[in-house]
Amino acid sequence: MAVTSTAPDTVPTTSTYREPRRRPAFGRLLAWVFMALGLVVTLFPFYWMLRTALSNTRALAANADSLLPTGFTLGAFERVLGLSTTAEAIAQGGSGASVNFWIYLRNSVVVATTSTAGQVFFGALAAYAFARLSWPGRDKLFFAFITALMIPPIFTILPNFILIKDLGLLDTYLGIVLPTLLMTPFSVFFLRQFFLGIPREIEEAAMIDGAGRFRVFFTIIVPMSAAPITTLSLLTYITSWNDYLWPLLVGKSESVRVLTVALGLFRSQTPQGSPDWAGLMAATLIAALPILVIYAFVGPRLINSIGFSGIK
Amino acid sequence: MTTITSRLRVRGQTRPPRSRPRSDLRAAAMFVLPATIGFVVFYLWPALRGVYYSFTDFSVLSPAEWVGTDNYETLIQDDLVRNAFGVTLQYVLINIGAQTVLAMGLAVLMHRLTKSMAVRGALLLPYLVANVVVALTWFWMLDYQIGIVNQGLDWVGIDRVAFFGDSAWAIPTIAMINVWRHVGYTALLIFAGLQTIPPHLYEAAALDGSGEVRTFFKITLPLLRPVLAMVLVITVTGSFQIFDTVAVTTAGGPVNATRVIYYYIYDLAFTRYEFGYASALSVVLFVVLASVAFAQIKLLRAGESDLA
């Protein structure tokens, strides 16, 4: 760390400026200390989730100051995945009530996958019409779509709840995904921005060769936009996976209950005196894990999308 | 599919290429139809219905009954509404204040120290995890009896704090939890803005002997203004809509210390079945949010850049 500020490895790329020569290495060291502190604060809670999930709830109270799992066991995971008997669960500090996070995991996968597929597909169709086709009323309709971004969700959630209830869709997958299945303003906006940047000449060449609009869209535009479509799909999937209020209102019953809703219930069901902390942390890890796995694979793509989308 | 293609082929032969004055209305209609249905049924229509409900007495169980401006008159005198706005405002100030300063710091640190994808990736991590997960994890870490944070306070000899149980601490605690979740994301937005500042300005400042602090206030901050303005508009609007964290930790308590606007609306509609009144409050929230966003854009001159 004791390198001077003019050493090549401390002045990496063009957009970092060259520092004045007399700038002390001490300042740079201090900056690194702050950065390290920020990273520790950011990452520690993830470690703590894991540490607690691998502990025995009954041992937690006596070893609150231990930085390692206390009474190391996989019991908490077995408990929330419905793999242990009631007696085993109670012995390790569980409530004994049967919980099965496999069901909620399945529900979250179904809801997030369906809603992502719908939003991205229909959003891409609409975005193309807004970016490329000329038709009367186009800009007005687009403006209306964008205005919907400004409306706080709670404002439409109340009437939408009534609508879903009147349609008899409470406690169904369809009821949970329907309001965002056909369009979200963000998906249309996001893809339109990208489609606008594709050179017209490519499409025109195809059309002179006799391709229709739909063929141009599916054989030229979609393949060319694989990258932004993937990014949008990831963002949509994560948003849908993490959503809480809407599924809480329309999907309470166990058969369609998603992970976030199940977690809230699990916490409120824990007996007042001795919450099953290990079970709760195991369950939160199960809820977070799929997103963390996706992130491990596509991290840079998501990170780079921030800034140019800027709005999510 | 074949008929469309063949028709276009004929047209392509008879029309000169590149001139395209004709409207693509028919194709466009097919492309935008699904999204437009979604927009009308789940955004436009409910928005209008929401406004209508706000003028009714509506308990879901029986049909809505027109009551004129009754709900709005009740609303003005409702102490819980005043409380909800007060508590939410307190939340927003702490949340946005801390988050913006910390994110700015992290962004500048990243800009100056490292382009490492791993660092950025780690900072973004909390943002990808559900609010509910974040809230429960901190709920556990901040537990009065055996939470690690209170354990830490013990180690350094400070009195334990009932982070969620003490009404003076509850809102700051929830605000800081959400700072933890959002600060990395906000830092990356600001970081993206920093990279648009031409490096030669910094070189010039360094040549002129400008120090770190002076460079930050004279160059970085003014040139970052449009980016910061947009970041603030987005984060402030989002911050007003705090719900998940409150719902799974304090549920509005202790007493009404964390009964934020969103939670109060939810409570009115889904536990007291006062849909009309809840709608009136969400209309007010909408108007407040739109005004705040508008004021920010005007005050911060978000549309203009000084980078001419």
Answer yes or no: do A115 and A253 share one domain: yes
Q: What are the angstrom distances between the C-alpha of B78 and each of B47, B73, B87?
A: 24, 9, 14
Single out the residue of A16, A33, A202 nearest to residue B203, CA to CA.
A16
Closest-CA distance, B267 to chain A, in angstroms, reads 12
Helix, strand, coil abundance in chain B, percent, nearest 5: 70, 0, 25
**Which residue bears the tokens 């058969």?**
A255
Indicate the pLDDT class of residue A273, thresholds 50, 70 and 90. Answer: low
Residue B238: CA count within 13 A, CB half-sphere = 19
Per the CB < 8 Å rule, is B289 touching A302?
A: no
Q: Which of residues 119-178 of B touch A (CB under 8 A)?
A: 119-126, 128-134, 136-141, 143, 145-148, 151, 154-155
Per the CB < 8 Å rule, is B110 touching A45?
A: no
Per the CB < 8 Å rule, is B32 touching A303?
A: no
Which pLDDT value is given to residue B284? 95
pLDDT higher than 80, residue A310: no
Q: Over the stretch B76-88, which tens digit does the pLDDT of each residue have?
A: 999 999 999 999 9
Which pLDDT value is given to residue B6? 39
Single out the residue of B188, B163, B166 nearest to residue B176, CA to CA.
B163
Per the CB < 8 Å rule, is A303 touching B262?
A: no
Answer yes or no: do A287 and A169 share one domain: no
Closest-CA distance, B93 to chain A, in angstroms, reads 19
Answer yes or no: do A131 and A65 share one domain: no
Q: Where are the alpha helices (DSSP H) in B195-253?
A: 199-207, 212-215, 221-239, 244-248
Which pLDDT value is given to residue A41? 95
Tokens of residue A200, six digits: 């017209």
pLDDT higher than 80, residue A290: yes
- The helix (H) or strand (E) run that includes residue A99 is none
Indicate the pLDDT class of residue B277, thresholds 50, 70 and 90. Answer: very high
Which pLDDT value is given to residue B137? 95
Substitution target in B9, B39, B154 with the highest count of A β-carbons within 10 Å is: B39
Which pLDDT value is given to residue A130? 93
pLDDT higher than 70, residue A261: yes
Which pLDDT value is given to residue B308? 54
Which pLDDT value is given to residue A151? 86
Which pLDDT value is given to residue B1? 34
Comparing A206 with A140, the larger pLDDT belongs to A140
Answer yes or no: do A53 and A84 share one domain: yes
Q: Over the stretch A28-71, which tens digit does the pLDDT of each residue have?
A: 888 899 999 999 999 999 999 999 999 888 888 777 778 888 88
Task: Name A198's Cβ contacts closer than 8 Å, sequence gap at least 6.
Answer: A221, A224, A225
Q: What is the ipTM of this complex?
A: 0.86
Tokens of residue A75, six digits: 């019991």
Answer yes or no: do A252 and A283 share one domain: no
Substitution target in B31, B59, B241, B296 with the highest count of A β-carbons within 10 Å is: B31
Q: Over the stretch A141-198, which tens digit does the pLDDT of each residue have?
A: 999 998 888 888 998 999 999 999 999 999 999 999 999 999 999 999 999 989 998 8
Nearest-angstrom CA–CA distance, B111 and B106:
8
| Contact assessment for residue A91 and residue A107, using Cβ atoms and an 8 Å cutoff | no
Answer yes or no: do A286 and A224 share one domain: no
Q: Over the stretch B209-219, which tens digit does the pLDDT of each residue have?
A: 888 788 888 88
Q: Which chain B residues are within 8 Å of A204, Cβ to Cβ?
A: 17-18
CATH number for the domain that contains residue A117: 1.10.3720.10
For residue A263, being part of any structural domain is answered with: yes
Single out the residue of B135, B270, B113, B122 nearest to residue B194, CA to CA.
B113
For residue A41, being part of any structural domain is answered with: no
Single out the residue of A74, A122, A121 nearest to residue A281, CA to CA.
A74
Q: Which chain A residues are within 8 Å of B29, Cβ to Cβ?
A: 135
Answer yes or no: do A131 and A207 share one domain: yes
**Which residue bears the tokens 């699990």?**
A266
pLDDT higher than 70, residue A23: no
How far out from the chain centre does Cα B70 lie?
Answer: 31
**Which residue bears the tokens 């203009």?**
B304
Which pLDDT value is given to residue B203? 87
3-state secondary structure of B57: strand
Tokens of residue B248, six digits: 């799974």
| Contact assessment for residue A251 and residue A176, using Cβ atoms and an 8 Å cutoff | yes
Per the CB < 8 Å rule, is A135 touching B29?
A: yes
pLDDT higher than 70, residue B258: yes
Per the CB < 8 Å rule, is B42 touching A188?
A: no
Per the CB < 8 Å rule, is A307 touching B189?
A: yes
Q: Over the stretch B142-151, which tens digit does the pLDDT of each residue have?
A: 999 889 999 9
Radius of gyration of chain A (CA): 25
Closest-CA distance, A83 to chain B, in angstroms, reads 22
Answer yes or no: do A76 and A138 share one domain: no
Closest-CA distance, A176 to chain B, in angstroms, reads 12
Spans of all domains in chain B: 85-299
Residue B277: how many CB atoms within 10 A of its CB?
27
Tokens of residue B58, six digits: 């509506």
Report whether the peptide linkage leading into residue A12 is cis, meaning its omega lies within 30 degrees of zero. no
Range of the domain at A58: 47-95+275-312
For residue A13, being part of any structural domain is answered with: no
Which pLDDT value is given to residue A311? 40
Q: Number of helices (H) and strands (E) in chain B: give both, helices first.
A: 15, 2
Which pLDDT value is given to residue A147? 87
Count of structural domains within chain A: 2
B304 at A interface, C-beta within 8 A: no
For residue A298, being part of any structural domain is answered with: yes
Task: Name B231's Cβ contacts closer than 8 Å, sequence gap at least 6.
Answer: B100, B103, B186, B189, B190, B193
Q: Mean of the per-residue pLDDT values for chain A?
A: 84
- Segment B139-164 mean pLDDT: 91
Answer yes or no: do A172 and A263 share one domain: yes
Nearest-angstrom CA–CA distance, B299 and A298:
38
- The helix (H) or strand (E) run that includes residue B254 is none
Nearest-CB residue to A306 (from B46, B188, B206) = B188
Nearest-angstrom CA–CA distance, A177 and A115:
5
Per the CB < 8 Å rule, is B180 touching A210?
A: no
Closest-CA distance, A166 to chain B, in angstroms, reads 10
In B, minimum Cα distance to A201 occurs at: B18
Beta bridge partners of B66: B56
Q: Which chain B residues are within 8 Å of A185, Cβ to Cβ?
A: 43
Comparing A92 with B67, the larger pLDDT belongs to B67
Nearest-angstrom CA–CA distance, A293 and A283:
16
Tokens of residue B234, six digits: 């987005």
For residue A247, being part of any structural domain is answered with: yes
Closest-CA distance, B179 to chain A, in angstroms, reads 11
- Segment A279-288 mean pLDDT: 93
Task: Name A89's Cβ contacts closer than 8 Å, sequence gap at least 6.
Answer: A75, A79, A95, A96, A279
Which pLDDT value is given to residue B21? 47
Q: Which of residues 79-98 of B touch A (CB under 8 A)?
A: none
Q: Which chain B residues are within 8 Å of A248, Cβ to Cβ?
A: 247
Q: Over the stretch A213-252, which tens digit does the pLDDT of each residue have?
A: 888 899 889 999 998 999 999 999 999 999 999 999 999 8
Q: Which chain B residues are within 8 Å of A26, Cβ to Cβ?
A: none
Q: Which chain A residues are within 8 Å of B119, Cβ to Cβ?
A: 35, 39
- Segment A284-308 mean pLDDT: 86
- Segment B115-129 mean pLDDT: 91
DSSP class of B40: I
For residue A213, being part of any structural domain is answered with: yes
Answer yes or no: do A156 and A244 share one domain: yes
Q: Give me the phi and psi of A97, to 5 degrees please.
A: -70, 145
Which pLDDT value is given to residue A308? 47
Tokens of residue A118, six digits: 């719908």
For residue A9, being part of any structural domain is answered with: no
Single out the residue of B118, B17, B62, B97 nearest to residue A204, CA to CA.
B17
For residue A255, being part of any structural domain is answered with: yes
How far out from the chain centre does Cα B59 lie?
Answer: 30
Q: Which chain A residues are within 8 Å of B131, Cβ to Cβ?
A: 242, 244, 260
B273 at A interface, C-beta within 8 A: no
Single out the residue of B98, B163, B125, B158 nearest to residue A49, CA to CA.
B125
- Segment A199-203 mean pLDDT: 86
In B, minimum Cα distance to A30 occurs at: B109
Q: Percent of chain B having pLDDT more than 70?
A: 90
Tokens of residue B159, six digits: 């009195």
Comparing B183 with B230, the larger pLDDT belongs to B183
3-state secondary structure of B164: coil
How many A/B residue pairs have CB atoms within 8 Å?
320
CATH class of B85-299: mainly alpha
Nearest-angstrom CA–CA distance, A39 and B184:
10
Which pLDDT value is given to residue A24? 62
Which pLDDT value is given to residue A285? 94
pLDDT higher than 50, residue A10: no
Q: What are the angstrom distances between the C-alpha of B157 and each of A9, B148, B154?
A: 42, 14, 5
Answer yes or no: do A115 and A220 share one domain: yes
Per the CB < 8 Å rule, is A39 touching B123?
A: yes
- Least confident range from A18-32, B51-65, B229-243: namely A18-32
Single out the residue of B251, B255, B252, B248 nearest to residue B139, CA to CA.
B248
Which pLDDT value is given to residue B13? 45
Answer yes or no: do A154 and A254 share one domain: yes
pLDDT higher than 60, residue A272: no
